Structure 1
């Protein structure tokens, strides 16, 4: 069975963003907001809807949900529900955003403001394309990408690329890569239990983590390189059983895909909890620890360069 295709839902996404921000205390990163949307059952939006990329007609990979998300951020800003934001910065509610009933968004006044803004924006883009003497009209998909993608998405397209490449790793290489990442995070792997014996005992790593309070915890690691399927509850349950046999203080389960909600619930049941790292969090950690990536500085032109006198 093929993946269900995400259907554009821009009007509702704005309300979802408001609801998640209110739940998180009024300020959050874009990633946290998206994760909050996935976690809210009432919104009925899946992990694949929010994070899975597709390939456009010109071969460029992009995440369709990001168009609705960025479109909605602009609308919320223009309507006064969120503060002005920088690329990569947190999204912060205004007092109006904190007090609004999210079910009432968008109001008629909100829709009027949004229509005026996008009407002006499209006129400016039409004139810009006309000045550049583009004879052929851009295909609708590519126009949407131009309109809805913001600088943050264009600058971070590498995250799609790196996760795609990791999904091509052999299971052995992914295990090795995961141990390298966890080593950067401070886990010291036992060479006998943590590397040589791990494959025969249902784990992919065993080591020790010393906290800032000089407390040492025993940690076991499980790695699953999945391209499509999520990690389910039985896999977490089985891993917990292995953790007990190693007398581990906690476990880390890392995957290139994601965890079902049942798996997430199982991970925190009982005393032997499991830290879950899905594909999105994996990429965040790669960025944080600069693991085999090279930062590149670039500049984007803002609207000032394209506005008429």
Structure 2
């Protein structure tokens, strides 16, 4: 029998963590393989394109991701899982836990939506259209978007668990990775962790410091950054006689905060958690290339006769 697909891992995974304790995926792998009757040979089978990641680890990882997006389990820290109340309810329902079951939850439907702008149709309809009508090229693009979406959410959750000091250094490194202060690796720095006057980082865009960008970093878990926080940052910029500022948070900005920035004279850019994760992925900060696929096409010049 072939190795079961990732959906087959969902039910036994939730069952294995039903005791409510925090479990590592590593410790769960063996009992899950036993429950799914996966042979020792199959457990060692690797993904052809990766060379070292096993098929079982890959499918278990995706089962965890889908269950997490649907709210049946939480991820207290990387590599660990814990059942939620929704997960307990799923077990008690007696229903089979698979994608069909998970589609009752709006947050899961939003996650699997293959096209970002598919707002006129339900996610089920979008998914069906995606599977039935798209070309292989479109399927590759959609899969790439899904992978990046999952990566971005995992990345920002990991950033939220770091210290404020780590986050302040991170935002400076991100600005440098984007090309700001590119004249030197020492062009940016985090400020002292106390008495920073509302400024968490500085980027010198030129060697003489004639153009300086001031940074504010707020590592919030859920709370939105409101207008008072932005006003305080603008006040700190005024004290520095600065014209440019970037306010970065792991959460989001309130509507009042966004409206306020559009009204002031100073140039203040707001970057929320979603944008932060996307920028980190784009500029390879905190991530690395796992696999590379090449899509090849006919070279018409090769077949052209003189």
Scaled by the length of structure 2, the TM-score of the pair is 0.50
Which one has the largest radius of gyration? 2
